[in-house]
Chains A and B, each alone.
Chain A
């Protein structure tokens, strides 16, 4: 099994999430999800549309709580019923759309200043000073887009790729212990996507945070990270460790994926052995 050694940063126990309960639109978005993420784990998550990937990240971020009985532990603390802004101390997030992760009408340095204080009490102190400005310039210079020379620029005037890179810096500048990436390169053009992805890998390795990255790109899911999770209809149906992951090719994963979409699975191991026997 993957990474049982090391301290666990995040633990999800018996997570269930039902939307629109007792209506015709009732959906079981998450079902008996159990997941333990260790320090420095970089987990890639794949699964078809509606599999529950974003719902899972929402639960970790505290956007909504799971159904009763489920538990979310961060560093062993029970944060299940805590509000989203209290989760933020440990959990940072980058969304698919650059517009969600950044504030368009504020400047780059104002955005970073907001992000710097993640999880801290915001007081009646001037938000941007020389020391912070230097820190922002330092963080921006590492992503190599020249944004450090444009810190007074309104974020709404940046390109999507620049904004997403900024969102990534904002998510990580306060070194959270958990980083959630929800298809964060999906709307970028292939070149920019590659740049942002490499930045992500660099930052995750540099700051050594536990990372959950949702993607629809199987190749990326195999190439990045040290663990791969596949979701289907609200369940985790596959959880591969680094060595298991390295033995799979994209086509193995695709066939596993299509099979998952085609039928119900009662046993995770069936799928895994199927995929392995194909190699």
Chain B
């Protein structure tokens, strides 16, 4: 019983934190139709920014907000590569992913920053409410997740938010209706990477260190979580349902991973599991159609 509630509690915390990454990835991949792989770099970039600032004596809450800001700027650059220089969305993200790796090493001045002896925003929050341990982690992650959920639930319904959602759906129409779709893509990429960097900052503070490699494969993890969430909630369309889907999917995915680790898989195997999961979920519908003898057009490559 204790083991089970422990597993659930850990998954809940991770579902809340990594749910922010899933929302970020949902914004680019699904809402904008912009497959931004740059999050692999902006996740540790958030961690690195927060870690360096905290070690330098900056208030941890401010440091966390700054991490969001740095991710926001990185996302803007990804968007600009695409809109201003006409580089394909996929390549724009990859360029930020690769270039961002060096930037992260520069920010940290090395591959790793320990934070264990510094006061983190979790610690401050816990002091304030008299919480600690996993309860604290869940409570703080919950507060941040709730805040982001409420803000996005409002923002995506505003005039700007609606035009942003439409930009991914039908860019030609949105332009003909007098909205600057390039600006919308910029806002979407910036928000997305800001959220991912925010999550990176929180993860680094909670685990007590930041590592330059902590973002590798995060994109696949987020996609797997989104796909699971969509499966569980039946392809939600409403804004509230979509945001919830990101958290629910991440929770389910993390639960699966935590159990897999208990069963004896090595942490090093996790990325393969994520990949296989995505391959299976994306590949099965096609194989099923083939079995039924349906014709399916060739895969798109761009």
Contact = CB atoms under 8 A, between A and B. Distances in A.
A200 interface: no
Nearest to A99: B170
A106 interface: yes
A115 to B, nearest CB: 6
Contacts of B181: 85
Interface residues on A, range: 35 or more
Contacts of B233: none
B169 A117 contact: no
Contacts of B154: 126
B163 interface: yes
A193 interface: no
Given A102-B170, A154-B237, A85 B180 contact: yes
Given A100-B172, A103-B166, A105-B237, A118 B158 contact: no
B159 A117 contact: yes
A124 interface: yes
Interface in B175-224: 175-181
A209 B174 CA distance: 21
Main SS at interface, chain B = helix
A88 interface: yes
B177 A115 contact: yes
B237 A126 contact: no
A86 B176 contact: no
B169 A123 contact: no
A103 B173 contact: yes
Contact of A88 (B155, B160, B176): B176
A93 B173 CA distance: 9
A163 to B, nearest CB: 11
Given A103-B169, A106-B166, A126 B176 contact: no
Contacts of A137: none
Contact of B159 (A88, A103, A106, A127): A127
B145 to A, nearest CB: 22
Contact of A122 (B159, B169, B173): B159
A118 B165 contact: no
Nearest to A107: B237
A250 interface: no
A114 interface: yes
Contact of B174 (A86, A105, A114, A119): A114
Interface centre among B159, B160, B176 (most CB of A within 10 A): B176
B176 A117 contact: no
A84 interface: yes
B160 A85 contact: no
B160 A114 contact: no
A138 B154 CA distance: 26
Interface string A77-119: 0000001111011001100000111111110001101110111
Nearest to B183: A85
A93 B155 contact: no
Closest 8 CB pairs of A and B: A88-B178, A122-B159, A103-B169, A127-B162, A103-B170, A119-B178, A127-B159, A118-B178
Interface of B: 154-155, 157-163, 165-166, 169-170, 172-181, 237
Interface of A: 61, 83-86, 88-89, 92-93, 99-106, 110-111, 113-115, 117-120, 122-128, 154, 170
